[in-house]
Amino acid sequence: MNSLRTLDIKYVKGVGPKRAELLASQLGIHSAYDLLRHYPTHYVDRSQIYRIIDFDGDMPAVQVRGRFVSFNTLGEGAKMRYVGLFSDGTRAMEVVWFKGITSIKRNLVPDKEYVLFGKPTQFNGRWQMSHPEVDTPDSLLASKEIRGVYPLTETLRNRGIASRQFQIWIQTLLESRPALKETLPASVVSSLKLMPLDEAIRAIHSPNDNGALQRARERLKFEEVFYIQVDMQRRNRKRKSSTAGHLMPRVGAAFNTFYNKCLPFELTGAQKRVVKEIRADLLTGKQMNRLVQGDVGSGKTLVAVMAMLIAVDNGMQACLMAPTEILATQHYESISQLLAPTGLNVRLLKGATKAAERREIHAQLADGTLDILVGTHALLEDNVEFRNLGMAVIDEQHRFGVKQRARLWTKNEIGPHVLVMTATPIPRTLAMTVYGDLDVSIIDELPPGRKPIATLLRYEPQRLQVYKATYAQLREGRQAYIVYPLIDENEKLDLRSLTEGYDIIRDTFRDFKVAFVHGRMKPEEKDYQMGLFASGEARILVATTVIEVGVNVPNASVMIIENAERFGLSQLHQLRGRVGRGADQSYCILMSKHNIAADTRKRLELMTKTTDGFVVAEADMQMRGPGDIEGTMQSGMPFDLKLTNLATDGQVVQMARDAAEILLDSDPGLTSADNAAFRRALEATVNRTADWSRIS
């Protein structure tokens, strides 16, 4: 397969330089290898020959065999068409071309046998086919009964490139070359009884039967995920065995004082388990890279605090980075309050921090008197230098790019342990594929006594009742969010509905102060408005999805989501997580139009039935496909998955993961002769930036 990678697509028989350029720009096909990896999306059955006399109006594309009796050019200019009268002995039909007439004229002759493939239509009582695929009975493809239909672009179609060209190029290429050498390790192919590469590539393009096609797809899907799994597991093993990390054997005064004196409640079982997992990492002397996944409200912050305290107990500093100023401020306030009895020096650094205070923080960071620094992206600025950073906690990971994480790493010679916390419940298969190189801890338990959020689906005529119920909550001292969709922050229409909504809300709830935020506000204004709500001065916050991540107001008990039908499930779940953070019953009300599509209604109804983030995430992935779930995760993928659907191919992912583990256990460096071809293929397939691989 390797020599195919270096065979420029323009030298593949029948392609040539002009089409090569098109293939490259339209489909990213640069080499013969890329061409073979351009798989059909579906297949047509060409085993049946139909008789024109049996045609009926509902037929899909069908195949007929016969001869042209005559040809005529009709019409002129733009209306010109070329019409052939075609008979198969049972009846005659018209075959019409509107484009590419010159080449049709040159290539088709009367009285020669052809096989046509197209959809029969009726015109003036006669059967017709326009632009059918034309084969001669002796053509290369004639014996291929199942043919692939290839993904194309409009431009390619307009330039006369159709599935048929791909079939011919690929067939010609495969027939002119020796069998493709297997690239997966022989041990894997034999133990899993996979179809060999050569057979699989031939079968996926031109299967003899459905069984062969399924086995080919299975093999090629496995291969896609296997490359990723081996790559990630290999990096992970390498990091664990070679990337030095700070050894933190001590649990001392800071941790114990906190645990015994400050902890306001018993840890949940899940919190205890995750703290244990972190402690085990810190005893290895290797760098920790751990993702803590836990639904909103599961108590990730406490876990982070304890991890930071262990660093402090071992004479090092710690930091916690949050995605927004508000969230950083809230973290700072709750952490410094929690840690007051320990006497530790906790500071806050954000964009708005004044120069004098900044200088003081820098100085304390440098001389080591600052123990824990909480902040925003401001932590990543060049002049922020820790004396000895031992633990970096990153909250709500998906808001930070991978590059930023890498910068944090480079601060000291030995990088800090990294703990990433995310509330985005990532479905298992996706996590296994994308985070194969992070260790994952899951907090799958909420603190006791939480009442599940009651989620209700309501329609326009019920608006008044919704407002009444909200009013009652406000009168009891609670707070409410009202969220409007602002999917594209540039959409004037959305902005209008938001500002109108704001006016209506102020009018309806005159007794209460209403804060107002959206993404097009200046940051200071946004902070000011958010601050009004966070402090409790404003009792209602009218907002767009800017609040999705980054506010913690336990007193808020109502979340109204307007036009809920326009949000994705995961987004609704994130928004819902803004309430239900205190002990009181909270409500999430999904407001929707009445006339929504059945599957939209199903989506919204699912929200009313479950508060389990993992169930929501799985359903979201099933409905939307994995690509949309999280942009940054996808960018962590070493290459595109062409066949595998992470939402439905969980089994393949599991199989690949297990096989990768077995392979690397027996040959960690992939240095054995048996695995040499695989290693070369892996290295040619997977290319990733150094940044990403170093940090995670």
How far is 293 from 279, CA to CA, in rounded Å? Answer: 17
CB of 237 to ligand ADP, least distance (A): 30
Nearest of 675, 499, 470, 677 to residue 579 by alpha carbon: 470
CB of 582 to ligand ADP, least distance (A): 8
How far is 97 from 37, CA to CA, in rounded Å? Answer: 32
Of 265-273, 370-378, 497-505, 561-569, which segment contacts ligand ADP by CB under 6 A?
265-273
- Cβ-closest position to ligand ADP: 299
- Angle formed at CA 323 by CA 320 and CA 326, multiple of 5 degrees: 90
The residue within the footprint of ligand ADP, chosen from 229, 271, 314, 592 (CB under 6 A), is 271
Our CB check for ligand ADP shows the closer of 306 and 542 to be 306
> 418: helix, coil or strand?
strand
CB of 630 to ligand ADP, least distance (A): 17
How does DSSP assign 49-117, residue by residue?
PPPGGG--TT--SEEEEEEEEEEEEES-GGG-EEEEEEE-SS-EEEEEESS-HHHHHHH--TTSEEEEE
425 binds ligand ADP (CB under 6 A): no
Contact 616, 576 (CB under 8 A): no
Helix (H) or strand (E) holding 319: strand 317-321
The residue within the footprint of ligand ADP, chosen from 98, 123, 265, 528 (CB under 6 A), is 265
The residue within the footprint of ligand ADP, chosen from 118, 294, 323, 613 (CB under 6 A), is 294
Contact 480, 536 (CB under 8 A): no
Our CB check for ligand ADP shows the closer of 132 and 550 to be 550
> 133: helix, coil or strand?
strand
The residue within the footprint of ligand ADP, chosen from 115, 296, 530, 538 (CB under 6 A), is 296
267 binds ligand ADP (CB under 6 A): yes
Which residues in 490-563 belong to E strands, given as ranges?
A: 514-517, 540-543, 556-561
Of 266-274, 346-354, 583-591, 646-654, which segment contacts ligand ADP by CB under 6 A?
266-274
CB of 355 to ligand ADP, least distance (A): 31
The residues in 538-597 that bind ligand ADP, with binding defined as CB under 6 A, are 552, 554, 581
152 binds ligand ADP (CB under 6 A): no
The residue within the footprint of ligand ADP, chosen from 128, 163, 268, 574 (CB under 6 A), is 268
Of 137-145, 293-301, 467-475, 618-626, which segment contacts ligand ADP by CB under 6 A?
293-301
The residue within the footprint of ligand ADP, chosen from 40, 207, 297, 416 (CB under 6 A), is 297
447 binds ligand ADP (CB under 6 A): yes
Rounded to whole angstroms, what are the CA distances from 186 to 37, 197, 295? Answer: 21, 11, 42
Which residue shows structure tokens 């009313």? 608
How far is 77 from 360, CA to CA, in rounded Å? Answer: 80
The residues in 299-338 that bind ligand ADP, with binding defined as CB under 6 A, are 299-302
How far is 173 from 17, CA to CA, in rounded Å? Answer: 16
Of 261-269, 503-511, 650-658, 683-691, which segment contacts ligand ADP by CB under 6 A?
261-269
423 binds ligand ADP (CB under 6 A): yes
> 526: helix, coil or strand?
helix
Binding-site residue total for ligand ADP (CB under 6 A)?
17
CB of 480 to ligand ADP, least distance (A): 19
Contact 478, 556 (CB under 8 A): yes
CB of 373 to ligand ADP, least distance (A): 19
How far is 223 from 681, CA to CA, in rounded Å? Answer: 11
Of 263-271, 306-314, 511-519, 584-592, which segment contacts ligand ADP by CB under 6 A?
263-271
Alpha helices (H) along 345-398: 355-367
* Contact footprint for ligand ADP (CB under 6 A): 265, 267-268, 271, 294, 296-302, 423, 447, 552, 554, 581
